[in-house]
């Protein structure tokens, strides 16, 4: 009888240990992910600091973690608009170079987001408004709308804005760099 009680106690103890392990594993995993993102931001910040020094541009670098990705912003310098370029083309290229610099040091592909002179923040608001108003027109007219080609960042913002409007949905079609958003009325 005492062997049965001991076995039951052992099973309960191991069940409690497993439950405790599950509850602590998630925060540890989340902490490791956030630590990696902070490390990515630090590496990117150092890389961009060296770039600004080489160009002799002024700018303040801000690092943040948001929605499971490192966010690096450069603000404050007069010459920073040159680093954005027409329609953000230079910014996209700098973001890719920064991601590669991070990958070279960490061995992991980065999803880091770079913003310069708050261009992405302004563009996000502009695209969200365009996506919402176009979706409302599609819902009212019943006619689909094809938007001009966009970067992945721009398409995501538009898809998110379209999702807030009832009676429509959106899809991307085409190949990069001509990939675009199509907004359809729901049947």
Q: How confident is the model over 103-161, as pLDDT tens digits?
A: 999 999 999 999 999 999 899 999 999 999 999 999 999 999 999 999 888 999 999 99
Distance CA 122, CA 82 (A): 16
Instruction: State if pTM tops 0.75.
Output: no
Domains of the chain in start order, with CATH, are 30-117 (3.30.300.20), 121-185 (3.30.1370.50)
The confidence band for 57, taking pLDDT boundaries of 50, 70 and 90, is very high
Non-local CB neighbours of 108 within 8 Å, separated by 6+ positions:
36
Residue 11 has pLDDT above 50, yes or no: no
In this structure, how many other beta carbons lie within 10 angstroms of the beta carbon of residue 167? Answer: 13
Distance CA 184, CA 115 (A): 31
Residue 101 has pLDDT above 80, yes or no: yes
Say which residue, 29 or 162, is predicted with more confidence. Answer: 162
The confidence band for 34, taking pLDDT boundaries of 50, 70 and 90, is confident
What are phi and psi for residue 179, nearest 5 degrees? -70, 135
Distance CA 136, CA 132 (A): 6
How large a percentage of the chain has pLDDT more than 70? 84
Residue 4 has pLDDT above 60, yes or no: no
Residue 44 has pLDDT above 90, yes or no: yes
Q: What is the pLDDT of residue 29?
A: 66
To the nearest 10 degrees (0 to 180), the angle between helices 119-141 and 152-162 is: 50
Tokens standing for residue 73? 């912003």
């Amino acid at each position: 009888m005492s062997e049965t009680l001991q076995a039951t106690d052992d099973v309960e103890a191991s069940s409690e240990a497993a439950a405790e392990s599950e509850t602590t594993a998630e925060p540890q995993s989340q902490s490791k992910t956030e630590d990696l993102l902070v490390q990515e931001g630090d590496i990117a910040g150092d890389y961009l600091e060296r770039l600004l020094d080489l160009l002799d541009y002024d700018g303040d670098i801000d690092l943040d973690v948001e929605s499971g990705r490192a966010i690096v912003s450069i603000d404050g310098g007069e010459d920073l608009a040159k680093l954005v370029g027409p329609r953000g083309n230079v910014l996209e290229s700098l973001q890719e170079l920064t991601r590669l610099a991070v990958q070279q040091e960490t061995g992991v592909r980065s999803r880091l987001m770079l913003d310069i002179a708050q261009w992405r923040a302004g563009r996000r608001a502009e695209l969200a408004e365009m996506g919402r108003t176009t979706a409302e027109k599609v819902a009212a007219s019943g006619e689909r709308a094809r938007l001009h080609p966009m970067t992945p960042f721009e398409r995501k913002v538009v898809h998110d804005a379209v999702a807030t409007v009832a009676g429509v949905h959106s899809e991307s079609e085409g190949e990069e760099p001509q990939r675009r958003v199509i907004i359809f009325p729901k049947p």
